[in-house]
Amino acid sequence: MSLLSTAIHAVQQAQKACINVQKTLITSVSKEDRSPVTVADFAAQSIVSMILQEYNADISLVGEEDAQLLRENEELKQKVCAVVAHVMPEKTENEILTAIDRGTHEGGSKGTFWVLDPIDGTKGFLRKQQYAIALGLVENGEVTLGILGCPNLPRDLNEPNIDIGSLFFATKGGGSFRWIASGKSTPIYVSQEPFRFCESVEKAHSSHSRAQKIADIVGITDPPIRMDSQCKYALVAQGQAAAYLRLTKGGYVEKIWDHAAGAIIITEAGGMVTDLHGKPLDFSKGRKLSSNKGIIASSGGELHQELVQAYTQTDS
């Protein structure tokens, strides 16, 4: 199995665990209980980490989680181990925790490492809406591979109840694809039709009012698509939205796992991803995009430059 095939398999196995958690641990009476997404977070990171380690233990992992909380909370640990066991029944408790702890790598400009967000879009996960398992590979500070597993994303937003569940992947210079079945995939490409943009559901993550001002300036008249997680990157990459705006507030600094996979999937589909000032995203600075502020992702060309210029013309 190739590195790409192994990575796709890892994300698919994590998806199985997350779908199981959504079906069994989230109930109408527990909407304020965040424990299901915590279980899924840890389980997904452990599963992906173990599969990738079996392929090549020399490639480090930058992950969102470590296992300290599980070592302090027996009930939570047992729930995580039970979820992992549905997918990888041969693994021991120690192997599961050790795999989670592999995610403490600091990243940087040298060497090769994986970047994982085991559950991107925690609130979407709890709402049983959109979330993603996002896996990227960084080589000497550059993202060279990305996979987005989007279990609740339909193939076409206009047919939300048909063909639900999507997986996207891209490699540097190899294009972007939507996975269909083993050995079968279809290429995806950006488009300016439909001419609309997407943004985060939560106002705390991005300024909705400023995004609307930017849309007005560039002539986007359709209402925005508000969606959790890096699924927004997938929408732009497959031509279902022309742009994704993440207008961060204050001094917030983005984490690399929130953007590595999505960014390469858009660029390999023919689009462009920069920060709000038009600077390329710099994944060489460690676990954060400390040289960048916010995100503008688009179908590229003149539209991207217009979006960057519109950002500078507006205020928060």
**294, 291, 298, 288: which is closest to 312 by C-alpha?**
294
- Among 124, 153, 187, residue at a domain's last position: 187
User: Cα-flanking dihedrals φ and ψ of residue 72, to 5°?
Assistant: -100, -10
Whether residue 6 lies in the annotated active site: no
| In a shared domain, residues 182 and 242 | no
DSSP class of residue 128 equals: T
**Domain end: 139, 158, 187, which one?**
187
- Rounded to whole angstroms, the Cα distance separating 270 from 234 reads 12
Residues 133 and 25 grouped into a single domain:
yes
Do 133 and 115 belong together in one domain?
yes
Catalytic residue among 101, 117, 122, 275: 122
What CATH number did the domain enclosing 129 receive? 3.30.540.10
Q: Same domain for 75 and 141?
A: yes
Is 202 found in the same domain as 180?
Answer: no
Q: Tell me whether residue 192 is in a domain.
A: no
Q: Let me know if 312 is a catalytic residue.
A: no
Domain containing residue 167: 3-187
Same domain, 22 and 91: yes
Quote the Cα angle for 255-120-55, to 5°: 85
As a three-state string, the secondary structure of 158-195 is: CCCCCCEEEEEEEECCCEEEEEEECCEEEECCCCCCCC
Q: How many domains does the chain have?
A: 2
Domain-terminating residue out of 150, 168, 187: 187
Enter the pTM of the model: 0.95
pLDDT tens, the chain, 316 aa long: 899 999 999 999 999 999 999 988 875 434 456 678 889 999 999 999 999 999 999 999 999 889 999 999 999 999 999 999 999 999 999 999 999 999 999 999 999 999 999 999 999 998 999 999 999 999 999 999 999 999 999 999 989 898 999 999 999 999 999 998 777 899 999 999 999 999 999 888 889 999 999 999 999 999 999 999 999 999 999 999 999 999 998 889 999 999 999 999 999 999 999 999 999 999 999 999 999 999 999 999 999 999 999 999 997 6
